[in-house]
Each structure stands twice: as C-alpha cells, then as structure tokens.
Amino acid sequence: MIATPARHVATERSIEFRQSIVTTCPELSGRERFKAHLSKVGSGVQTSRGMSREESADALNLILTAQASPAQIGAFLIAHRIRRPEPQELTGMLDTYRVLGPKLKSANGQKRPVCFGMPFDGRKRTAPIYPLTALVLLNAGQPVVLQGGRRMPIKYGVTTEELFKALGLQLQGLAIEHLEAGFQQHGLALIYQPDHFPLAESLISYRDEIGKRPPLASLELLWTAHQGKHLLVSGFVHPPTEERAWKALELAGETNLVTVKGLEGSTDLPISRTCITSRVQNGKPERLILHPRNHGCFSQDVQWSNLTEWSEQAMEALHNRGPLSQPLLWNAGTYLWLAGLVNNLDEGIAHAEKCLQSGLAQTTLEQLIAWRETII
C-alpha cells in the first residue's frame, strides 16, 4: 500500500524539477543546465558534491534525450565512475528510467512477478542458471520479468536473449504490447533494450569508449519496467554496492527486495560456497546466509564454455540430469521459497526436483515456444 504512492511521488518530483528549471531559467539550454550538474560530480575528491535526487534525474534525462553534448556525457559517466553514485543519485536516475523507459503491467488478479536485476553486459566465466530457474518458477505459477540487451561492454558476455534462443525460444523482436500480452498470459517477459528502450541503447558506445562500467550499470540492477507490486531481486558484487542499493530503493518506494551476492554479480546463487543474501521489507534488511550443503545440494559452479554446450547441459538439467542439475535445484528451490510459494527452502528444493523429474519445466518451455511462433 505504501510502495505505489512512493513511486508516483518519485516520478512527479523528477518531472516537476525538470519543468521548474525550464520555466524559471528559459535562457538555459540543456548543455548549460548539464554544466551545473557536471560541476558537482567532476570537481575532484575533495570538492565534488553529490547531486540531489532531482538533479540526478534531470542529468540523466538530458543524457538520454541527447541534450547534453558527447563530451559532457563522457565526462559525467567517468566522473561518476570514479566517485561512485550516492543513493539519492541512483534514485533520481531510477525516476528518469521510470519516466522514459518501457512500462509493463500485470493482468488483473495476476500474481506479483519476481523481477530479476542482473548486469546487462552478461556472463563470461560461469554457466547461467537463471533462464532455467525462470522456467521452474513459471511452472509453479510464478510470473518472471527479466531485462537485458545485446552483447555490450565492458564484458561482452552471453546475454539473456541468446540463452533463451539457444533453448528454442526467440524473445527478441517483440513489440511491447505483444510482450505484455504474452506476460499476462504465460507469465514471462524479457524487456529487451534494443526493442523497448532505444534511448538507453544509444549510450552503449560511451560504455565501450570509457572502458569501465558507468553508473548506468548499477542502475540496471535496480530498475524494473514492471509497474505495481513485485519482488525485486538485485545482484551485487561488493558489500558497499548492496547497502547503497538498499538506500536507493527505499527512497524509490521499493518495499519488497532481495539482494544476492551472485555469480558475476547476477542473481544466480553459487552452489560451491555460502550464499550471501538479504531480504529487505519496508526498508528493513534481514541478512540470510544460505549453505547449499545444509540442504543436500553438492556441486561446483559450472564454468561457461559456449552456447552449444550450455544448451545441451540446460536441456539435461530440465530433466534433472547433468552438471547443471544441482545448481538448478538449488536456485529454483531457493527462489520458490523467497517468492513465498513454499514454506521453507527444503520444500522449495523438493518442489523443484519434482517439477524437473516429471518434465514439467520442459513442457513450460514448449508452451512458450508455441506462443512465440504465433506472433509474426
């Protein structure tokens, strides 16, 4: 009941801020306005200052709408990379993404989705589990929202779209209305940046030329296109990043959050070591330390090789066989529990095992492929 109004307030505040600048200072061009923002973040360690939430929203708006010059955009991104964005700055950027980005809505009566926030630049070292986890969740009636794009800097790792395509499911090239209709009917949505958020896609060249992850990389872990109630799962690597995410998302009105120190910053839980996660409800984090071995899951994290080998391993895992089977049981069981579909983690693992052994996850994949083939 609290989250939705907070998100509306965030959007209204960012819009009002931009409108007030244009109204009170009509002589200022976008580039002149951007200079003021850049002077705050680019003045060095001793003199740089954090932007307010409204200023950060305006700065990203000027970047995405190409009102700032290329030199200004590059300077801003690298300055933010060096200084690191503050929580209210990330919240301001979220405000702008919520205004300018795509919007996805659930059907009336549809279960709240689990929205996974993972690095858009993909995976290169470990075999992804999350597409298979999504299929188990979908079979249990749990909607899933994923986001990503083409291979992009700095990692140029394998992408969500490529992984599903390797399983026979083409999720690229869908208009947002077809995507939303499929989501409301079958429960799966991939917000694909080239199709659904071309303004953000235009910044990929900057990421390549800078050679370092810009603040947009942090933003992508926190943003979801879904409107309304959901469980947001956000991956992280470094502890300060996790705490910053908690604060930024609390300001943004996100009241139901899970943060995961996952494989390569993703939401995939490692099986070879202890899993560090947190559940955050109404701004109050609860640390959850999960031990796979305590729940009968024993394996190593599978190393990434190529799409052909991964697709073979993935299809085996969908029948509870092969090297990805244990990591899949661990991830699917944990997320069934975190989503509230089962009472405890062990029950989640047992449910996942039954789903895989009976071939139900494979059936869910086939139903999605059949749906996609009906759309030209």
d(C-alpha 130, C-alpha 134), whole Å: 6
Quote the tokens at residue 264. 């390569």
Residue 152's Cβ-count burial label (10 Å; 0-12, 13-18, 19+) is buried
- Mark whether 285 and 215 lie in a shared domain: yes
Domain boundary among 45, 71, 100: 100
Does residue 198 share a domain with residue 68? Answer: no
Task: Give the separation between CA 285 and CA 279, rounded to whole angstroms.
Answer: 6
Nearest-angstrom CA–CA distance, 288 and 85: 26
Q: What is the pLDDT of residue 283?
A: 85
For 274, the token pair is: 């202890």
Integer Cα distance of 94 and 265 in angstroms: 19
Residue 105 domain-assigned? no
Burial code of 245-257, b = ≥16 C-beta within 10 A, e = fewer? Answer: bbebbbbbbbbbb
Q: Which two tokens stand for residue 283?
A: 């701004």
Kindly give the residue spans of alpha helices, DSSP state H, lying in the chain: 3-24, 30-41, 53-64, 70-83, 87-100, 130-139, 160-166, 176-186, 193-196, 198-201, 204-210, 215-222, 239-251, 307-317, 325-338, 345-357, 360-373
Find the domain containing 25 and state its range: 3-100
| Same domain for 216 and 356 | yes
Find out whether 111 and 142 touch, Cβ atoms under 8 Å: yes
Given a contact cutoff of 8 angstroms between Cβ atoms, the answer to whether 355 and 317 are in contact is no
DSSP per position, 280-317: EETTEEEEEEE-GGGGT----PPBP--HHHHHHHHHHH
Query: Does one domain contain both 34 and 180?
Result: no
Question: For residue range 171-192, what is the model confidence (pLDDT) as tens digits?
Answer: 999 999 999 999 999 999 999 9
The pLDDT assigned to 47 comes to 66
The confidence score (pLDDT) of residue 45 equals: 62
Q: Could you tell me if 25 and 123 lie in one domain?
A: no
Same domain for 134 and 30: no
Q: What is the pLDDT of residue 46?
A: 64
Question: Which of 1, 4, 6, 85 is closest to 252 using CA atoms?
Answer: 6
Closest CA to 326 of 292, 361, 360: 292
Residue 374 lies in a domain: no
- Maximum CA pair distance of the chain? 67
**Domain endpoint, select from 100, 123, 152:** 100
Residue 235 · residue 262 · CB < 8 Å: yes
pLDDT at 8: 47
The confidence score (pLDDT) of residue 25 equals 52
Q: Is residue 373 part of a domain?
A: no
> Is the separation of the CB atoms in 164 and 190 below 8 Å?
yes
Count of domains forming the chain: 2
Q: Give me the pLDDT at residue 22, please.
A: 41
Last residue of a domain, one of 53, 74, 100: 100
Question: Two tokens at 170?
Answer: 């083409």
Give the pLDDT confidence score for residue 322 in this predicted structure.
98
Same domain for 126 and 222, yes or no, is yes
pTM score:
0.92
User: Do residues 63 and 127 both lie within one domain?
Assistant: no
Q: Are 70 and 178 part of one and the same domain?
A: no
pLDDT value for 106: 98
Note down pLDDT in tens along the chain; length 376 residues. 333 444 444 445 444 544 543 433 546 789 999 999 999 888 766 666 789 999 999 999 999 999 999 999 999 999 988 888 999 999 999 999 999 999 999 999 999 999 999 999 999 999 999 999 999 999 999 999 999 999 999 999 999 999 999 999 999 999 999 999 999 999 999 999 999 999 999 999 999 999 988 999 999 999 999 999 999 999 999 889 999 999 999 999 999 999 999 999 999 999 999 999 999 998 899 999 999 999 999 999 999 999 999 999 999 999 999 999 999 999 999 999 999 999 999 999 999 999 999 999 999 999 999 999 999 7
Q: In CATH, what number is assigned to the domain containing residue 159?
A: 3.40.1030.10
Q: For residues 269 and 359, state if they share a domain.
A: yes
CATH number of the domain that residue 75 is part of: 1.20.970.10
In a domain, 376, yes or no: no
**Strands of 144-148's sheet in order across:** 188-192, 144-148, 114-117, 231-235, 256-260, 275-281, 284-290
Does 375 fall in a domain?
no
- Whether residue 87 lies inside any domain: the answer is yes
In a domain, 38, yes or no: yes
Residue 120 lies in a domain: yes
- How, if at all, do strands 284-290 and 231-235 pair? unpaired
Same domain, 147 and 257: yes
Same domain, 299 and 330: yes
Separation between Cα atoms, residue 370 and residue 316, nearest integer Å? 21
